[in-house]
């Protein structure tokens, strides 16, 4: 067994590998860029080596620097994590040549699976289901119908040079195949100047389901069940679970056995994942193989009781797998939510900056520990007060829960999200909460098109329906009432000017453009019961009890005997006197006042925000990589104005209306904050 390993990665996956290494008594070496010198993975490791500037191409992607760091620290092995160099066959080979063990598959396995076309040929030769189709250009509509019938309807007719939905048709019968072929050819010729057309099987209501495999250097390979990864936004996974609520035992076994056949065909050693697309009739076809540890590996760890990072290290050290296929367990149900630094209410724009508050829900499961299951686990590479840099991906943390069944796992996840405090930047927690409450998700009736179908207009606050909206008003009144009680108990108050607690309040929910909601609330005193109150809202009674302190950002208690966790923040952007109440993904900003004050508040005129139509503002923090206009230039609506780079994504800003550029305020290479002015129009 190794005595020291280097982790060629950053963030949560670096911290994850360190946890298992510590359990095995192995020393760890972290590597870091300029942006990560204060990062959590650097603090957790036994040693750390600086790689270079913040951009990954100058640090985490430079193989020479990482190999040099391993040599200088005496690390016998390198774990690449995921991303960066993890699926780089050349890097794996270099490690081998330098006498350093690569904690992952051999370079020839990575290379074999790295080419999409070649990997499908290999998979087909290994007896793995591949999507039926004809990859040679088809000449006539009659030939198209003949091929479509041989494949079996429905089929997808698509242009070789297609894109943007052009040159693509789905046919369910001979007539549609005949007409679709002709339309595709014409569209392809007119749009791309290339009229070659192909046909392949169309998978209806496709689901993305992947099989985790594990192989050793002695020819043993097992599959560790499947993960359901169909909840995706723009091909990025959002929620993953194990097992899948969809496939049958027979399908699971068939997929698992085919994944093992493919792994054996490429002499696979280490942990890997074979991805399949699965149709509504449970037909399944090979997509690709990921020759690394997956982001969503914790859900497999929860249901199997296996530490996958430990297995990778043991395999790399030459050990045999200590169990066979019959020993692989499938206990309970696990779900993982990816918590990303992005604003779901602003089209998921990246959100970088300082984590003013970062408090995870209470953890009962931990990285590297597969003894304490059936609880909550958080994998993260950040901490309270840390910085989310703009140079890397947007994932802040992974929240994992393990329940007896799917219903319990969903309930645990919803409650864990309620207790996950992130302040200073925006996160996708409200979006995750909405997905978990969606009837189709709860029933397991979804496919890869789920998010695009259900949120086709983007994600809005009203897309997060609360089970009981009045509970939020009751909670605001409860917190305000306890605050008044405390103030009334302070000594030294002048007679006649002392704080009156009162029983009747009005909760004013602050809405858009002054459309506020006024809710009358009555609070009954519960004599001698500290931290308890009975609150009546719209004829409903809420008996709330909580021992949380008034300055706690998270409030834990019971409502009508049922436990709850919610977040309360004092002072908001709209109003420094307001309370922000957040529960089950729904967030309200509310003023709690006397009924008379509420009457007067209704008479207050609405102050409209300033007109910003003459300015182009940065919608997020990021690096200004391009300014496409100059002072005096005439610009038309929709014309490119600037490009901002954040979290490995380029975001192009366009002019909202015709105009003439008055001045360019920000310059290329500048780091921008949210709403910082870039261009002003006359």
Q: Half-sphere exposure of 617 toward its Cβ, with a 13 Å CA cutoff? A: 11
Q: Are 80 and 63 in contact (CB under 8 A)?
A: no
| Helix 308-316 / helix 297-304 crossing angle, nearest 10 deg | 100
Closest CA to 505 of 483, 529, 531: 483
CA diameter of the chain:
97
Cα gap 573→577, rounded to integer Å: 10
CB atoms within 10 A of CB 594: 13
Which residues have C-beta within 8 Å of that of residue 468, sequence separation ≥ 6?
540
Alpha carbon 516 to chain centroid, angstroms: 33
Nearest alpha carbon to residue 382 among 416, 358, 365, 399: 358
Gap between the Cα atoms of 542 and 400, Å rounded: 31
CA 383/CA 415 separation, integer angstroms: 21
Q: List active site positions.
A: 288
Q: 161: number of CA atoms within 13 Å, CB side?
A: 12
Segment (H or E) for 296: none
HEC secondary structure over 519-569: EEEEEECCCCCCCEEEEEECCEEEEEEECCCCCCCEEEEEECCEEEEEEEE
Strand ranges of the sheet holding 634-635, from the earlier edge strand across to the other edge: 615-617, 677-681, 659-664, 634-635
Q: How far apart are CA 475 and CA 481, in angstroms?
A: 10
User: Is the previous residue joined to 243 through a cis bond, with omega within 30 degrees of 0?
Assistant: yes
* Contact in structure between 428 and 401 (CB atoms under 8 Å): no
- What tokens appear for 576 in the block? 């420094």
* Residue 271 to residue 103: CA distance in whole angstroms: 9
Q: What residues does 32 pair with on adjacent strands?
A: 50
Beta strands 236-242 and 221-233 are: antiparallel
- What would you report as the CA-atom Rg of the chain, rounded to the nearest whole angstrom? 29
Detail the DSSP E strand segments found in 185-293.
197-201, 207-215, 221-233, 236-242, 270-278, 284-290
Distance between CA atoms of residues 41 and 54, nearest Å? 15
Whether omega before 154 lies within 30 degrees of 0, making that bond cis, reads yes
Q: In this structure, is the dihedral angle defined by the CA atoms of residues 219, 223, 227 and 232, taken in order, positive or negative?
A: positive
Distance CA 37, CA 110 (A): 31
Burial of 141 (0-12, 13-18, 19+ CB in 10 A): middle
Angle ∠(103,320,86) on CA atoms, nearest 5: 15
What is the Cα 148 distance to its own chain's centre? 38
d(CA 240, CA 650): 26
Q: What share of the chain is helix, strand, coil (3-state, %, to 5)?
A: 30, 30, 40
Nearest Cα to Cα of residue 468 among 535, 515, 532: 535
């Amino acid at each position: 067994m190794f005595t020291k390993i280097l982790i060629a990665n950053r963030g949560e996956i670096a911290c994850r590998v360190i946890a298992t290494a510590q359990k095995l008594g192995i020393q760890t070496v972290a590597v870091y860029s300029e942006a990560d010198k204060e990062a959590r993975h650097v603090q957790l490791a036994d040693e750390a080596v600086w790689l270079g500037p913040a951009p990954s191409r100058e640090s985490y992607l430079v193989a020479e620097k990482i190999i040099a760091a391993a040599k200088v620290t005496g690390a016998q092995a390198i774990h690449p994590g995921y991303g960066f160099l993890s699926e780089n066959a050349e890097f794996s080979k270099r490690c081998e040549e330098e006498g350093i063990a690569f904690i992952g598959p051999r370079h020839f396995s990575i290379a074999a699976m790295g080419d999409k076309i070649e990997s499908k040929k290999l998979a087909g030769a290994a007896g793995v289901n591949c999507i039926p189709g004809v990859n040679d250009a088809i000449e006539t509509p009659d030939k198209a119908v003949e091929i479509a019938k041989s494949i079996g309807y429905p089929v997808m007719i698509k242009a070789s040079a297609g894109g943007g939905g052009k040159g693509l048709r789905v046919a369910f019968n001979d007539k549609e195949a005949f007409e679709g072929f002709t339309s595709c050819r014409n569209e392809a010729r007119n749009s791309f100047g290339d009229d070659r057309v192909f046909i392949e099987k169309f998978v209806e209501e496709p689901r993305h389901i992947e099989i985790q495999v594990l192989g050793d250097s002695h020819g043993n390979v097992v599959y560790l069940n499947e993960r359901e990864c169909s909840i995706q936004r723009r091909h990025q996974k959002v929620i993953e679970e194990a097992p899948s609520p969809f496939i049958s035992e027979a399908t699971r076994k068939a997929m698992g056995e085919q994944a093992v056949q493919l792994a054996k065909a490429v002499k696979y050693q280490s942990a890997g994942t074979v991805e399949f697309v699965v149709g509504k009739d449970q037909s399944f076809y090979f997509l690709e193989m990921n020759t690394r540890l997956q982001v969503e590996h914790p859900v497999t760890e929860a249901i199997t009781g296996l530490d996958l990072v430990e297995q990778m290290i043991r395999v790399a050290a030459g050990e045999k797998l200590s169990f066979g296929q019959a020993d692989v367990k499938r206990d309970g149900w696990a779900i993982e939510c990816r918590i990303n630094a992005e604003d779901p209410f602003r089209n998921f724009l990246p959100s970088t900056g300082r984590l003013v508050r970062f408090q995870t829900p209470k953890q009962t499961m931990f990285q590297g520990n597969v003894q304490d299951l059936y609880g909550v686990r958080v994998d993260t590479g950040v901490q309270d007060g840390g910085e989310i840099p703009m140079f890397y991906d947007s994932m802040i943390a992974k929240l994992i829960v393990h329940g007896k069944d799917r219903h319990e796992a969903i309930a645990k996840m919803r409650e864990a999200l309620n207790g996950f405090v992130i302040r200073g930047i925006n996160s996708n927690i409200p979006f995750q909460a909405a997905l978990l409450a969606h009837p189709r998700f709860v029933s397991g009736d979804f496919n890869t098109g789920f998010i695009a179908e259900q949120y086709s207009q983007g994600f809005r606050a009203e897309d997060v329906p609360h089970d009981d909206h009045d509970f939020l008003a009751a909670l605001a009144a409860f917190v305000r009432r306890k605050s008044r009680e405390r103030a009334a108990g302070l000594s030294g108050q002048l007679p006649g000017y002392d704080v009156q607690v009162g029983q009747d309040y009005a909760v004013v929910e602050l809405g858009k453009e002054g459309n506020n909601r006024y809710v009358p609330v009555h609070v009954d005193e519960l004599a001698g019961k500290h931290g308890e109150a009975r609150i009546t809202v719209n004829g409903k009674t809420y008996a709330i009890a909580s021992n949380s302190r008034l300055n706690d950002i998270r409030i834990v208690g019971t409502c009508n005997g049922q436990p709850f966790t919610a977040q309360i923040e004092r002072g908001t952007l709209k109003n420094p006197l307001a309370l922000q109440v957040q529960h089950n993904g729904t967030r309200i900003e509310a003023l709690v006042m006397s009924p008379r004050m509420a009457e007067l508040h209704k008479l207050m005129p609405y102050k409209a925000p300033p007109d910003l139509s003459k300015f182009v503002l940065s919608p997020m923090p990021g690096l200004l990589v391009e300014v496409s206009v100059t002072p005096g230039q005439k610009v038309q609506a929709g014309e490119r104005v600037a490009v901002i780079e954040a979290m490995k994504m380029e975001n192009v800003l366009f002019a909202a209306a015709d105009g003439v550029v008055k001045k360019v305020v920000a310059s290329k290479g500048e780091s921008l904050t949210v709403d910082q002015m870039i261009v002003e129009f006359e």
